[in-house]
Structure 1
Amino acid sequence: MGINVGNKIIHLALALIFLISFTSIANAGKETMIIGSRLTLGTSIYGNIVTLAETATNSAGMYNLTTGKITGLGHVGTSPSIQGDKITWWDEEKVIVYNISTGKEINIEGANTPAIYGDNLVFVRSKYEDCQPASYQNAQYNSLYLYNLSTHKEVQLTPYKHAHFGSSIYENKIVWTQANRVNSSERSTNISIYDIPTKRVSDIGRSGTAQDGKIYGDIVVWVESQNGSMNIYMRDIAKHETRQVTFDGNSTSPDVYGDRIVWESAYRAGNNPSGDIYMYNILTNETTRITNSTYAREPAIYDDKIVYIDSRSDPEYQEERNIYLYNLSA
């Protein structure tokens, strides 16, 4: 049977034209290392404040982009997140909220994995099967809670029936990953959304492999893992439209702000996990490659600023993970 070489060349050319049209290398903007020589684990950004966690000292901190000053916040179990003038993180079954404006701290015992927006704090309480309190790592069941920092009122949002994790909140809407047990060794994971005023719960991603949901405005983004491939999806909850954002099969750690979605395209360089940061514009349907270091991870975006972890200065052992800032407007 003959091979039509001409048709193959045409198809290849069309594929290349498609990729060039929808993917571009960032040629505008400026990258700066803002925090160096630190073993950092995760970061977030709001306004001119960047938060971080250091594994070397097991502590949380914040970096002021205007003054260049780093302020320590204390012991940490996970990466802190920021919204407005409040930073939250958790450590040893205790959620901590730090108010930048007042310098005051609130502790909520028996809670973990928080997310915050304004005065609304979302977190998880975990239990064993016999309903005794449990650490997050050893929990068989957990429940999602909403705590108002002004009224100090705590409301249970979900029953102790499934595993809930990875919550994100924007205004009056909360999204999280819900894991439903399929059998003794397998779970399916879906993205759920809770509307605070109506108390209505609905599912967004129902593939059974959806996780890591984030929300901003009417846009929810998440990761779906199918047949070993991980791709980013988004849903406009106002328009009831779902769209696949990436197709490379290596996309993780999404974040969203306005009309921009950022994520890490992860792969392996030798024996080391590696990746680069990409950005997708919802309005123009254009994907832009932000980094070219092959060691960039875990992006977060606010306005025209993207922060991420990068181990390019120590690619072999990756014991030195620095925080970089990419300014899209610079």
Structure 2
Amino acid sequence: MGNKTIYLSLALIFLISFTSIANAGKETRVVASRLTLDLSIYGNIVTWAETTTDTAWMYNLTTGNITRLGHAGNSPVIQGDKITWWDYDKNIIVYNISTGKEIKIVGANTPSIYGDNVVYVRSKYEDGQPASHQNDESNSLYLYNLSTNEETQLTPYEHARFYPSIYGNKIVWGRANQVNSGEWSSNISIYDIPTKRVSDISRTGTAAGGEIYGNIVVWVEQKNESRDIYMRDIAKHETRQVTFDNNSTSADIYGDRIVWEREYWIGNNFSSDIYMYNISTNETTRITNSTCAGDPAIYNDKIIYVDTRDDPESQEYRDIYLYNLSA
């Protein structure tokens, strides 16, 4: 009993030392929306999907203009002046904000973009393979260059490659493997475009998600009902556990900062808030206190997230909020 008391005291000291509450910055509701998900931000442009209208949207933080991007828009991602998403027919759309022009990539899904490179997933059957593969769920990573209009297959077909993310010449994605009937494991893998080398970042068999910025990859490590955020410095070959609360998910990274959603219970009420981790200082900061915030994305000093504080019971109204760290 005495040892437990000591351990609890040390844990409390650790939290007091390394976790703080945001005391600077400004929170603003920027868009009133319903059933919002898949937020992305770059510069002053915010994108998201709305399931009530099956549409991808774009919002300009400077002008306040809202633009409907396309019907059946899933998981829009913005980088530079380009936005990409995929529809229910599994076609990828790449929209150029500057020119207003669109490019369609047929038969693919879950895109990510960096510069002129779009990375995405194609399944074996949808890629024009024989009908015998109709029930084969194997898929492969592909790369499309917007300048040359060339498509390149990056990996062999394998079961369950999902949600790639690209930065510079490196691509990360989740890879599920069937251990035996009804049992699966999942890893985080990385592909180096110049060398065509594939390597595993996480081999625990419980990894999900995966985002990359520079040399840092972040993901969610899930063990039974517990979920924590991990990061890997691929240049230094170092892995670090970011959270220790067993209830963290939806991680994103930009520069030296990682943001995520932490879930918890207040009595019988399910709650969630946004947290931020500074890689250099090893400091964790709580960004929101609404108990209704989730799905964050970050760009420089701007953190966006959805919040259901105006509709906590049904959580249908998922308004988009902005927290500006430098305001």
* Matches for 1:172-183 after TM superposition, within 5 Å: 172-183=169-180
- Aligned pairs for 1:99-178 (under 5 A) are 99-128=96-125, 131-132=129-130, 140-178=137-175
CA distance in structure 1 between the partners assigned to 2:97 and 2:251 by the alignment: 26
Distance 2:206 2:103 in 1: 35
Q: 1:266 aligns with which of 256, 263, 266?
A: 263
Partners of 1:273 and 1:53 in 2: CA distance: 24
Residue 19 of structure 1 aligns to a residue whose secondary structure is helix
Please state if 1:19 is matched with 2:20: no
1:61 and 1:70 in contact (8 A); partners too: yes
2:24 corresponds to which residue?
A: 28
Task: Give the TM-score, by structure 1 length.
Answer: 0.93
Deviation at residue 79 of structure 1 after TM alignment: 2.3
* Aligned position for 2:49: 53
How far apart are the structure 1 equivalents of 2:304 and 2:200? 30
Shift in alpha-carbon separation, 1:15–1:270, aligned structure 2, 3 A: closer
Contact kept, 8 Å, 2:120 with 2:163, in 1: the verdict is: no
Mapped pair 1:195 → 2:192: yes
**3-state secondary structure, aligned to 1:88:** strand
In 1, Cα distance between the equivalents of 2:32 and 2:83?
22
Q: For residue 294 of structure 2, what is the amino acid of its counterpart?
A: R
Structure 1: give runs of 5+ residues left out of the alignment. none
Deviations 1:61-110 (A, max 9, x none): 10001001101111134121100000000002100000001100000110
Q: Percent identity?
A: 74
Partner of 1:311: 308
The corresponding residue for 2:202 is 205
Query: Partners of 1:275 and 1:12 in 2: how far apart?
Result: 23
Q: Distance in 2 between matches of 1:156 and 1:89?
A: 19
In the alignment, the residues of structure 1 paired with residue 16 and residue 140 of structure 2 have an alpha-carbon distance, to the nearest angstrom, of 46
1:241 partnered with 2:253:
no
Count of matched residue positions in the alignment of Structure 1 and Structure 2: 324
Q: Hey, what's the Cα distance between the residues in 2 that align with 1:172 and 1:179? A: 23
The runs of at least 4 consecutive aligned structure 1 residues that moved more than 6 Å come to: none
Q: Secondary structure at the match of 1:33?
A: strand
RMSD over equivalenced CA pairs, Å: 2.1
Contact 2:75-2:110 within 8 A present in 1 as well: no
Code of the residue aligned with 2:10 in structure 1: it is L
Deviation at 1:40, TM superposition (A): 1.5
Structure 1 Cα separation of the partners of residues 237 and 21 of structure 2: 31
Work out the CA distance in 2 between the residues paired with 1:70 and 1:323.
Answer: 13
